[in-house]
Structure 1
């Protein structure tokens, strides 16, 4: 099967293009190919800085079968390593933990510093001999995975060949430059995850567009109508949607969340919702933001990790705790309303005669842009 010829129709303009063929949603071999050529070769989201808040905090992550370890070091920087001992390949950390001194392998007690360097090799030269001339500790540190933290999302480039994050996403960083300021996680009630029986790409495709709002999100559509939205599509970079009628949530006494500092008038009633390719969904509003990391668990299984952030920390505004909880409940409702859609599209991809579908040239530009990007990644080289 010539996969490149199958993708030629995806690479056409939105007016005439078909979507990605069924196999890209239902075939395990294709899932593995996309793991290698889409998710491992680009800057993919794997976690959040808020999960390793202090020096020594460590969190293991299984990213498509790749064992990773996220660690915050003594300088407050986050590093990502392959979670595999350089000795006999033992998993080093199997659950989130606080590391007091070193990362110690539970098998033979080889020990690594928080920067990944190998510090101790007990009895490596025989009983009581902790060194051996042929075991060079300077060459046996943990394998560091290229990583970057933006808006508290931890991105990794597994194959190590991507250009720097700031270069790859320069346009988006400029677009949202006003929001380049600290974000504070809203606390336990601002964190939730949804398991969905769908291929991860369908969650991206649904998030990209506002076309479905009138039918899938009637509550949201009651004040944020289809005509109040605009498409965001930067070819082969990112895509999403914006609204011109963002409405701040108000408490019973009229209280609102503090705004992010120094925002221009555009954001008084504007908000944007963009996919950072391949698997991170982000939203920015004047008074809060969110990030969603899509974790592809299997070809037809995805976990959406959703986190809400604010301009001020919860401890600095305890009087807004009820409002934060209410805000999280509202967003959870919106995201849950999408579940039947992405799961329904997944079921539909098992229709043998489905040809990838067509796009509305007026409404589906952001979704087609994502299809085009995926197809471009797969046909490289």
Structure 2
């Protein structure tokens, strides 16, 4: 397998794609969940999932039970969703935490900041303290998190370099969009369940080569020749267009106000970038979107799409229409990624070749994944 991975990392003119097993084998799925997802800054959710203080949402990512919560100060946090006493799941459905997070097993209670605040009868009936139980050492385990472009990124291994360091180049590229985002609300989010490995969703998103055949309507407005490749080895890749046309109301007026102080480039440009490992982002002069990919199995992925805007002064009906438009585009990709997943069952497929002119962003992602898998030490349990 190491020879196959080395072939992926070759220059694009001679490289092969990742072997079939990386899309079909349960053991490799687990390995990639550890190396590619848990050891990097991976997308978990969006901050808009917990819009108010006390909002809490239980999530599962890389097999770990997590709790996304907005604490009483308004800070978004991520904790391991287990009691420090006997490992009981604390929150099993989205809800508002009015007082404390109470374990349903023995009623140990935690503040929304993770502090252990009460331990009923821990020292015996009526005795709520014990010398052997130091509450200061038994708070919830917090997972390192970082919010950017409205996405909550987490580092489950807790040993990745700071997010701002890892993605310095991308933050600089999109520094003009480093301003408050207004979540579009319920009408601006949707979920797609797709029968494919999560990596295929990344690969398809970051290239424009498929536009004429898969997105003929979009290609009629933003043609293949109007696009350019974006490649930052080891971090991100994608594509941009030089002819973005704003979504408009029926009367022809622009539906949404622009972000403030953008340079003239963004009058007609838009960019679509895959932030490794599992977040797909799109920026435009008047709105942005994120797609957080949650790998469910070798061949199943949940795509959660969320749109945000430059201003709260936007019509909910028009926001909904914009979301419908994007959903139609993303749904056009489903047959492609599912078809590639089925194609990975062909024993003679060797990972495929790359077009040096058109597939640079996809090869960039493959090479990142292959290099990471080669370099990462294996745990003793493996």
Normalised by the length of structure 2, the TM-score is 0.97
Alignment partners' CA distance in 2, 1:255 and 1:89: 55
- Matched residues in 2 for 1:214 and 1:252: separation? 26
Q: Distance in 2 between matches of 1:163 and 1:64?
A: 20
Aligned to 1:353: 348
2:258 is aligned to 259
Q: Which residue of 2 aligns with 1:377?
A: 372
Q: Structure 1, residues 277-321: CA drift from partner, whole Å, max 9, x if none?
A: 0000000000111000001011100010001111112xx33xx22
Q: CA deviation at 1:63?
A: 0.7
| SS across alignment from 2:370 | helix
Separation in 1, partners of 2:319, 2:54: 29
- Rounded Cα–Cα distance in structure 1 between residues aligned with 2:146 and 2:357: 35
User: In structure 2, the residue corresponding to 1:222 is in which secondary structure?
Assistant: helix
TM-superposed CA distance for 1:7, in Å, is 0.3
Whole-angstrom CA distance in 1 between matches of 2:336 and 2:324: 20
Identify the range of structure 1 (324-333 vs 358-367) with the bigger mean alpha-carbon deviation: 324-333
Give the match for residue 290 of structure 1: 289
- Selected match of 1:344 from 339, 347, 353: 339
| SS, match of residue 45 in structure 2 | strand
The match for 2:360 among 351, 365, 370 is 365
Shifted more, 69-78 versus 369-378: the winner is 69-78
Distance 1:230 1:73 in 2: 42
1:6 and 1:127 map into 2 onto residues whose CA distance is 62
Per the alignment, residue 32 of structure 1 pairs with: 30
- Post-superposition offset of 1:62: 0.7
| Residue in 1 that maps onto 2:163 | 165
Question: Which position in structure 1 is the counterpart of 2:99?
Answer: 101
Match of 1:219 among 217, 220, 237: 217
Helix, strand or coil: the match of 2:176? helix
**1-structure distance, mates of 2:56, 2:13:** 48
Instruction: Report the secondary structure of 1:9's partner residue.
Output: helix
Q: What displacement does 1:369 show?
A: 0.3
Partners of 2:38 and 2:62 within 8 A in 1: no
Displacement after TM superposition at 1:358 (Å) = 0.4
RMSD: 0.8
Q: Which residue does the alignment assign to 1:183?
A: 181
Distance 2:247 2:261 in 1: 20
Contact 2:66-2:79 within 8 A present in 1 as well: yes
Tell me, in whole angstroms, the C-alpha distance in 2 between the residues paired with 1:26 and 1:369: 21
Contact 2:197/2:295 (<8 A) preserved:
yes
Within the alignment, does 1:49 sit opposite 2:47 as a pair? yes
Which range is displaced more, 196-205 or 254-263?
Answer: 254-263
Which ranges in structure 2 are unaligned for 5 or more consecutive residues?
A: 378-382
User: How far did residue 5 of structure 1 move?
Assistant: 2.0
The 3-state SS of whatever aligns with 1:13 is coil
* Cα distance, 1:255 vs structure 2: 2.4
The secondary structure found in structure 2 opposite 1:360 is coil
In the TM superposition, residue 249 of structure 1 has moved relative to its aligned partner by 1.4
Equivalent residue, structure 2, for 1:300: 299
Distance 2:54 2:319 in 1: 29
User: 1:64 Cα shift?
Assistant: 2.5
Structure 1 CA distance, aligned partners of 2:364 and 2:70? Answer: 35
Q: 1:228 aligns with which of 226, 229, 245?
A: 226
Tell me what 2:280 maps to.
281
How far residue 35 of structure 1 moved from its aligned partner, in angstroms, is 0.6
Helix, strand or coil at the partner of 2:331 = helix
Helix, strand or coil at the partner of 2:7: coil
Secondary structure at the counterpart of residue 247 of structure 1: coil
1:2-21 to structure 2, matched below 5 A, reads 3-21=1-19
Give deviations 1:226-269, integer Å, cap 9, x for gaps. 11000000111100000000001111222211000000000000
Distance in 1, Cα, partners of 2:204 & 2:83: 40
**Aligned twin of 2:326:** 331
